[in-house]
Structure 1
């Protein structure tokens, strides 16, 4: 029973990583890694498995923004089942899938925005991790004007 749980955990991590990457510009390089992973089952099997992954990626990219979260959830489930079935046939590939998921996660953690501001005399800098909304606009004043 422990092996089955481990396979499902690895498959879940792999599925989550794939869905996360499907909408990014780095998808092609991740897809190449997925192709190598599936080749452990032979070339014909790899083509069939990749066709399913490509269909999932196209569906996600083509989904409306309002539907994206539900499509992602559905695809994570489908890919988890696909990956778990593959790992049951090829349990020696589990570490490779885990490594792929770890690489994707590490890349995501290192992809934060870095900002460096120099020589901003008499100005203010606004840095946001998302949208900034202000009704009425922003009004900047030097500290002297605020007194």
Structure 2
């Protein structure tokens, strides 16, 4: 097997499982299922369900502090992606695009920078997400 495919599958498995416990989860699920939909349409829905089950397993393991499960799940998805790439090498480009969009560098590229200046008795409230202020 080509080393590039093995490396891409390894990166994909790690990224998929790592992002399962983040806000990017739905995009990961849809993107990975889409890979199978293009190449194995009959398996796409089953893959989406398997991703959901994997996420449930991961969240349960995190809650109980079982660190071994995450590594096992990564290896499982690395193998699935490797087999897909071995059977359908043309999926590699689409997978790489998905990883570029979702990977750690993508979050930094999409980061919002906020700047504010206050003077006198002014107050500034900034948030990247939800913000709750209760002044009395």
Give the TM bin, normalised by the shorter chain.
0.7 to 0.9
Judge conservation of contact 1:53–1:79 (CA < 8 Å) in 2: no
Structure with larger Rg: 1
* CA deviation after TM superposition for structure 1 residue 26, in Å: 2.1
The correspondence of residues 42-81 of structure 1 with structure 2, limited to 5 A, is 42-65=40-63, 67=65, 69-81=67-79
Distance in 2 between residues matched to 1:11 and 1:70, nearest whole Å: 20
More deviation, 94-103/67-76 = 67-76
Residues 28/68 of structure 1: CA separation in 2 closer, same or farther (3 Å cut): farther
- Which SS does the other structure have where 1:118 is aligned? coil
How big is the shift at 1:113?
7.7
Provide TM-score, normalisation by structure 2: 0.73
- What SS class does the counterpart of residue 64 from structure 1 fall into? helix
Task: Verify the 8 A CA contact 2:21 2:59 in the aligned structure 1.
Answer: yes
Q: How does 1:1-147 map to 2 (within 5 A)?
A: 1=1, 3=2, 5-65=3-63, 67=65, 69-105=67-103, 106-110=105-109, 114=113, 116-119=115-118
- The CA distance in 2 between the partners of 1:68 and 1:113, in whole Å, is 34
Unmatched segments (≥5 aa) in structure 2: 121-136
Tell whether the 8 Å contact from 1:60 to 1:68 is kept in structure 2 after alignment. Answer: no
Point out where structure 1 has 5 or more consecutive residues left out of the alignment. Answer: 122-147
Number of residues of Structure 1 aligned to a counterpart in Structure 2: 120
Query: 1:31-78 CA distances to partner (integer Å, 9 max, x unpaired)?
Result: 111121111223212123222222111111222346364322221111
Q: More deviation in 64-73 or 18-27?
A: 64-73
The two structures have a TM-score, normalised by structure 1, of: 0.68
CA RMSD of aligned residues (A): 2.4
